[in-house]
């Protein structure tokens, strides 16, 4: 999990993120993501299925199998945390419910890959807030508790989750060469960059300047200073 990484290693991983800022990925000519004016980035199921069908089913390494299981739960965690925080702050902002809906499509995109490769789905029988990963289980509890006292703290939790997601996806990409997994992961990165921008914008509207928790200030500013990606 990105939250466990030495922060000095994060800068190396973010070279992968920054090269994609502001442009499309190289894996597919048409993005399976739809992006609204606020940056909420949602997988279009039909477009994703078509993109995956155009790519070969390749041999999976053990690292790729482990990554898919973990990412399925990590994207579910984002959805679950945002859904819980929305129950507390829906009267003041719609950012949590809107991004939670998109995160549901993110975890579903990973599920499509699990089905494609006939892998066990760790989330198949687990309800919101429940995870196979002990690390993610503890993180869910921590993040919900952190975001409960105030709207500002909740918005900071949202931004932090997007930082962690990008770190973890980039770490995973170092050991992945299957084209279909790369396609999904690169679009997840685009979504996380857009969602980070959305949470930071919401914090700015509250008069708060967000300080990145895991990214270097330079890497963070490179993303924040770039327009929403379509």
Across 27-41, 112-126, 204-218, least confident range: 27-41
| 27/44: higher pLDDT | 44
Write out pLDDT tens, residues 52-111.
999 999 999 999 999 999 999 999 999 999 999 999 999 999 999 999 999 999 999 999
pLDDT band, residue 26 (cuts 50/70/90): very low
Per-position DSSP letters for 18-70, written without gaps between them: HTTTTS--SS-SS-SEEE-TT--EEE-HHHHHHHHHTS---PPPHHHHHHHHH
- What pLDDT does 29 receive? 58
Those residues with Cβ within 8 angstroms of residue 221's Cβ, 6 or more apart along the chain or in another chain:
none
Q: Judge whether 155 and 206 are in contact, CB under 8 Å.
A: yes
State the CB neighbour count (10 A cutoff) for residue 136: 20
Q: Domain residues of the chain, as ranges? A: 32-224
Share of the chain above pLDDT 90, in %: 86
Write out pLDDT tens, residues 144-169.
999 999 999 999 999 999 999 999 99
H-helix segments, the chain: 7-18, 45-53, 62-89, 95-116, 134-147, 151-173, 179-205, 217-224
Burial of residue 37, with CB atoms counted within 10 A of its CB: 0-12 exposed, 13-18 middle, 19 or more buried: exposed
Write out pLDDT tens, residues 172-196.
999 999 999 999 999 999 999 999 9
As assigned by CATH, the class of the 32-224 domain is mainly alpha
What predicted TM-score, i.e. pTM, was given to this entire model?
Answer: 0.89
């Amino acid at each position: 999990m990105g939250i466990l990484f030495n922060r000095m290693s994060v800068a190396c991983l973010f070279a992968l993120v920054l090269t994609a800022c502001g442009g499309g990925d190289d894996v597919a000519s048409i993005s399976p993501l739809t992006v609204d004016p606020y940056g909420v980035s949602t997988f279009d199921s039909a477009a994703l299925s078509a993109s995956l069908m155009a790519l070969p089913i390749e041999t999976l390494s053990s690292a790729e199998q482990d990554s898919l299981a973990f990412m399925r739960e990590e994207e579910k965690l984002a959805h679950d945390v945002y859904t819980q925080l929305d129950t507390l702050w829906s009267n003041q902002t719609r950012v949590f419910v809107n991004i939670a809906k998109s995160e549901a499509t993110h975890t579903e995109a990973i599920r499509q890959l699990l089905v494609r490769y006939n892998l066990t789905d760790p989330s198949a029988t687990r309800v919101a807030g429940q995870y196979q990963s002990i690390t993610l289980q503890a993180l869910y509890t921590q993040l919900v508790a952190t975001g409960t006292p105030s709207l500002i703290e909740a918005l900071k939790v949202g931004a932090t989750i997007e930082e962690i997601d990008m770190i973890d996806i980039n770490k995973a990409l170092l050991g992945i060469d299957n084209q279909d997994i790369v396609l999904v992961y690169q679009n997840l990165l685009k979504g996380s960059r857009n969602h980070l921008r959305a949470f930071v914008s919401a914090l700015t509207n509250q008069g708060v300047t967000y300080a990145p928790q895991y990214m270097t200030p330079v890497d963070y500013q490179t993303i924040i200073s770039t327009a929403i990606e379509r």
